[in-house]
Amino acid sequence: MTHNAVLLALGLAVVGAGAARADEKIVIGVAPTMVTASTYLAIEKGYLRDAGFTATVENSISGAKLIPYLATNRIQVVQAGISAAHFNAIAQGLPITLALDSGSSPINQDLLLRPDLKDSIHTIADLKGHSIAIVAPGSIPSYVIGKTLESAGLSLADVDIKYVPFPMMGAAFANHAIDAALEVPPFGDLLVSQGLGARWLDPDKIVKPTPMEVVGYMVNTDWAARDPAAAHRLMTAFARAGRDYCQAYHHGPNRAEVAETLIANKVLTNRALIETMPWQARDPSGRFNLASLVDEQNWFFAHGMIQGRAPPQRLVDPSYAEAAARTLGPFKLINKDDALAGCR
């Protein structure tokens, strides 16, 4: 047995040891997108059970709506988009922190145009005066659209922002209620396949620093402090499932399994689309790019969306990703010929 295999065996033994000691019930808040497959995989493949947990999943259309429940420990863990509400909560000293990255560049976001406008909007500056849909106030899409506009000398004040949940943007296009929309997988690809939106721009190519942080696992720190070892087992279980996602992202042998998980949990229903569309990336051990988080916080503060800023070391607890990396060992692609960036 190799050194890495020994480390993995020992680490998984530690993860599994929790099952013999406890069967703790937890609630996980999820704002479903492509990357949230890792939460469903962690449950369905028994990783959470092996770590000593029984989980209930609460879905929400917006991660920001889950923050109050996380801060009051009605939900112990949230996997959702990072938002102004999250930064506000940390700056106010509420007991939450980011634990694991679960969605970062390449994100394969789509700034879509209404199809009848694709021949009249050519540059970012041409968006002036047009309506743009983003998922929610103070969301990372606000930051993404804001920085994209700023690259052309515009600001959010130069466009008409509409707040529309991802699954409802297609109807808004069809009703001519919006001119453009920032979508994420799988929703953008679904709209393009239905002819409701025209693919125009990937903001990943504009917004810096990268990798840009978009989705993360957040934990209630009061809950985690009661049994830090258990909290680390829990996050290692999520990181293990995240690695399964990364293998599928790189067209590994489990891609059909992950696709089935997404379908079974109603994240997406079109199997053919899941196979052909680009997926969002993540760090296989859940490490965050702190520079991206700091830039996001600074942008929200500068635009009056948060009232204060937390010091960088308060934004993330890196011990969870470090523990996952030690326990699971180096991430190795099964499909070594896949050239996709991210998830490495």
User: Is 70 exceeded by the pLDDT of residue 333?
Assistant: yes
- Please check whether residue 211 is in contact with residue 288, taking contact to mean a CB–CB distance below 8 angstroms: no
Confidence of residue 277 (pLDDT cuts 50, 70, 90): confident
- Please check whether residue 99 is in contact with residue 317, taking contact to mean a CB–CB distance below 8 angstroms: yes
Tokens representing 203 are 């903001």
267, 201, 289: which is closest to 41 by C-alpha? Answer: 267
Tokens representing 283 are 């760090």
Give tens-digit pLDDT for 27-62. 999 999 899 999 999 999 999 999 999 999 999 988
Give tens-digit pLDDT for 89-120. 999 999 999 999 999 999 988 899 999 999 99
How far does the chain reach from its first CA to its final CA, in angstroms?
Answer: 24
3-106+212-328 placed in CATH 3.40.190.10: yes
Pairing mode, strands 110-113 and 180-183 = antiparallel
The pLDDT score that the predictor gives to residue 87 is 97
| 266 CB-contact burial (10 Å; exposed 0-12 / middle 13-18 / buried 19+) | exposed
Sheet of 213-220, strand order? 53-59, 24-30, 77-81, 213-220, 96-104
- Location of structure tokens 């290692």: 236
Please give the share of the chain, as a percent, with pLDDT higher than 70: 94
User: Is 50 exceeded by the pLDDT of residue 247?
Assistant: yes
- Chain Cα centroid distance, residue 312: 20
Diameter over CA atoms, the chain: 63
Give tens-digit pLDDT for 121-146. 999 999 999 999 998 899 999 999 99
Tokens representing 308 are 């204060």
The pLDDT score that the predictor gives to residue 3 is 36
User: Is 60 exceeded by the pLDDT of residue 12?
Assistant: no
Distance CA 220, CA 230 (A): 13
User: Is 60 exceeded by the pLDDT of residue 230?
Assistant: yes
The pLDDT score that the predictor gives to residue 314 is 96
The packing angle between helices 3-21 and 319-328, to 10°, is 120
10 Å Cβ neighbour count for 222?
A: 14
User: Is 80 exceeded by the pLDDT of residue 21?
Assistant: no
The pLDDT score that the predictor gives to residue 148 is 97
Going from N- to C-terminal start, the domains of the chain cover: 3-106+212-328, 110-205
Distance CA 276, CA 242 (A): 20
- Please check whether residue 95 is in contact with residue 124, taking contact to mean a CB–CB distance below 8 angstroms: no
The pLDDT score that the predictor gives to residue 5 is 37
The pLDDT score that the predictor gives to residue 18 is 39
User: Is 80 exceeded by the pLDDT of residue 239?
Assistant: yes
What is the fold, at CATH topology level, of the domain defined by 110-205? D-Maltodextrin-Binding Protein; domain 2 (3.40.190)
Strand partners, 316: 98
254, 258, 229: which is closest to 327 by C-alpha? Answer: 229
Q: What mean pLDDT is reported for the chain?
A: 92
Distance CA 334, CA 97 (A): 32
**Residue 195 dihedral angles phi and psi, to the nearest 5°:** 75, 15
Give tens-digit pLDDT for 305-323. 999 999 999 999 999 999 9
- Location of structure tokens 């810096």: 208
Give tens-digit pLDDT for 179-219. 999 998 778 888 999 999 999 999 988 999 999 999 999 99
3-state SS, 191-225, equals: HHHCCCCEEEECHHHCCCCCCCEEEEEEEEHHHHH
Tokens representing 169 are 């943007």
Distance CA 97, CA 100 (A): 10
- Do the domains at 3-106+212-328 and 110-205 have one common CATH topology? yes
The pLDDT score that the predictor gives to residue 22 is 56
Distance CA 254, CA 237 (A): 18
**pTM (predicted TM-score):** 0.89
Q: How many residues does the chain have?
A: 344
Taking the CA atoms of residue 306, residue 308, residue 312 and residue 318 in that order, the dihedral angle to the nearest 10 degrees is -60
Confidence of residue 265 (pLDDT cuts 50, 70, 90): very high
- Please check whether residue 50 is in contact with residue 33, taking contact to mean a CB–CB distance below 8 angstroms: no
Distance CA 42, CA 237 (A): 6
